Chain A
Amino acid sequence: MRQTLLDLTDDVAVRIHVDPAAAWARARRRTVRRRVGAALVAAVAVVLVVVGLRSLDPRPVALDPADHGSGGLGLPTRLGHQWLSHTLDNGDRPGAAAGLVHRQGVGWYLVLPSGRLVGLLANDDTTGEYPPAISPDGRRVAFMQLGLADDASRLVVAELDTGQMRFLSTVDAGRTRDGVPTNPLAEHRVNGQSPMRFSPDGSHLIVLGGASAAGGPEDGRAVLIGVADGVVTTVTPAGSSLAMPAGWLDDDHLVWIDGEQRQGLVTDLTGTVVQRARLGEPSGVVMTPTAEVDPSDWAQWVGPVSPDGVTVAGGVVPTSGDLAQAVVTYRIRVGETWPGSTNVGTSHLASLCPLSWGEDEMPALPRDAPELLGGEDMVVADASLHIDCSIWAGDALDGPRHRGLTGRLFGYQTAWFYWWWRELLLGAAALAGVLLLGRRRLRSRV
């Protein structure tokens, strides 16, 4: 048999021409290419592992507290999906937060400057009925804790720097069962669909509420809560029936807008009027041809006062004509008239979502996700988070931007693959690995 095969291939060797030198050179080039490719794959793998580990970091509350004095608190650029969710617990110290967001059907979350979300205890507030409040320095949040035993509720004030959490059982959501308050300790209630506001120094909280659940839902008035001592009082401007101030003028004074009477008031914390002025006709941008701004449509609990105490802003939602909404501001000054202006016509102003205000001339407008803020303060969010409201700390609005790796790579892009680029890269790497392994196994078989 061997002789037969040798005879068959007798002339073959002289007719086949191979080039060992060319084979050597080709092999060198392949080796170089293979090593470069392996180095690139290794580099990508290292980056993916590092990024993946950062995404899966199980220590969302172990961040260094932001340096408030140096302006370290700032806005994140992007809010992406969260692989691991963490709920703020008593003793957690996440440091100053940039703001708060509500995920439709899920609940309220703290937004850390890095863009990480930390759930509040009130996660069962799926409808966003009780908007929490964040102090201007981002170090303190207040929220209504719902869903306690027997449907009870209570107010919680959390110190994000120290981890201390105060539970004010004397203030609840005013819920009853069979006519009996679910929280027998409650002396005051907070109304739903009403914003809470911290004073500029964070020492007081003003909410719309009442004396207790027994007082009935129509018993709405401003409730002032001392954060440190838990003392609760109600405030009503003398000679007025106004229920809720537009905001804090400073730590000791409140600003009230009376659209019906076309007047603005400044009171101290007992309700004593220290200034009364006529509201000027708003000038400036006309919202739409069919919807004129009417101060009587002032939704006074929507807007805050600017940090410099000069301007108060409010949402105006016309009751007739077009359903457009606007932000109206009044310049607060010592005098008989507060000049008004209509600054922004927008359809994004959510009635349950309060404005936030930094040092800028105009308050930050909460918008529909994925764009949570407009203009230069833009924060974009993954649409799959279903964020329908955002509230921002004043210092965060004035602070530096925290872009993160994704922000640096993609800026404000919101297409789905920009939110899932890590997973897509990992999937591609895994697929390449499987194909490479399969090819090697195929080659090893005869």
Chain B
Amino acid sequence: MDEFEAWARGRTASLSRAAYLLTGDLQRAEDLVQETLIRVAGHWRRISRSGEPDAYARTVLHRLAVDSWRRQRARPTEVSAEHPELGVAGPDVERRLLVREALLRLTPRQRAVLVLRYLDDLTEVQTAAVLGCSPNTVKSQARQALARLRDLAPDLLAELEVR
């Protein structure tokens, strides 16, 4: 348990960032991370022996997010209009809001590809393994996601390039 707790505390920040980008909501991101930790704890003995708890947690997080999206399609949930995590006022806040809105207008899969490729810095092959699709699909989804972001926020995201 101590080993798990140490790992969890070290990974909470990155998991929280990914969860927030996937859900767009603090509360739902927190629930997603907590559930991910529960799933990881349930198989801790095995995955700690394999030496890849990070990869397992990442896969669980994205698959739980998929489950969450499917449930939302069937039963939409209320999302808070307040976003204190983005700051109180100022140009940075407006920029963050704009990026957040643009991200939320992507498809769930496009969002997941962006998070894995650009936040977690995974390769196309690693991203494909997490999402259970082909590397070509990852490549095309990333290209489409970036193109759509440029359309939605051309001034702020003009510097983005497809890697």
Contact = CB atoms under 8 A, between A and B. Distances in A.
Asked if A and B bind, the verdict is yes
Interface of A: 1-2, 4-9, 11-13, 15-24, 26-28, 30-31, 442-446
Interface of B, secondary structure class, is helix
Contact of A1 (B38, B87, B92, B118): B118
26 contacts: A1-B160, A5-B17, A5-B118, A5-B119, A7-B96, A8-B21, A9-B17, A9-B21, A11-B84, A12-B85, A16-B19, A18-B12, A18-B33, A18-B34, A19-B34, A20-B5, A20-B12, A20-B41, A23-B38, A23-B40, A24-B44, A27-B39, A27-B41, A30-B42, A443-B63, A446-B66
Contacts of B62: 446
Given A20-B9, A27-B40, A27-B44, 12 more contacts: A1-B160, A2-B121, A7-B92, A11-B85, A13-B12, A13-B16, A16-B33, A20-B5, A23-B8, A23-B40, A24-B4, A30-B42
Contacts of B8: 18, 20, 23
Interface in B42-92: 42, 44, 62-63, 66-67, 70, 84-87, 92
Contacts of B63: 443-444, 446
A1 to B, nearest CB: 4
B17 A13 contact: yes
Q: State the 5 A-B residue pairs at the shortest beta-carbon distance, nearest first.
A: A27-B41, A20-B8, A23-B37, A13-B13, A27-B42
A446 B13 contact: no
A205 B24 CA distance: 91
Contacts of A27: 38-42, 44
Contacts of B119: 2, 5-6, 9
Nearest to A30: B42
B133 interface: yes
A26 to B, nearest CB: 5
Nearest to A443: B63
A26 B44 CA distance: 13
B139 interface: no
Contacts of B124: none
Tier of interface size on chain B: 35 or more
Contacts of A11: 84-87
Nearest to A17: B30
A20 B66 contact: no
Interface of B: 1, 4-5, 8-9, 12-13, 16-17, 19-21, 26, 29-30, 33-34, 37-42, 44, 62-63, 66-67, 70, 84-87, 92, 96, 99-100, 103, 109, 112, 114-115, 118-119, 121, 130-133, 146, 156-157, 160
Contacts of A12: 16-17, 20, 26, 29, 85
A16 B30 contact: yes
B17 A444 contact: no
A8 B100 contact: yes
A15 B21 contact: no
B132 A444 contact: yes
B62 to A, nearest CB: 6
B20 A16 contact: yes
Contacts of B86: 8, 11
A74 to B, nearest CB: 54
Given A24-B5, A443-B63, A446-B66, A5 B109 contact: no
Given A16-B19, A18-B34, A23-B38, A4 B99 contact: yes
A30 B40 CA distance: 12
A313 B150 CA distance: 102
A18 B31 CA distance: 8
Contacts of A2: 118-119, 121
Nearest to A12: B20
Contacts of B109: 446
Contacts of B41: 20, 23-24, 26-28
A442 to B, nearest CB: 8
A236 to B, nearest CB: 86
Contact of A445 (B17, B33, B66): B66
A18 B30 contact: yes
Contact of A24 (B1, B16, B133): B1
B34 A8 contact: no
Given A5-B119, A18-B30, A31 B42 contact: yes
A13 B16 CA distance: 6
Nearest to A13: B13
Contacts of B103: 8
Given A15-B84, A24-B4, A8 B99 contact: yes
Contacts of B44: 24, 27
A11 B70 CA distance: 28
A241 to B, nearest CB: 86
Nearest to B35: A23
Contact of A15 (B39, B85, B96): B85
B133 A446 contact: yes
Given A5-B17, A5-B115, A24-B4, A16 B99 contact: no
A4 B155 CA distance: 13
Nearest to A26: B38
A20 B16 contact: no
A27 B96 CA distance: 36
Which one of A5, A21, A26, A30 has the highest number of Cβ atoms from chain B below 10 Å of its Cβ? A5
B90 to A, nearest CB: 13
Nearest to B160: A1
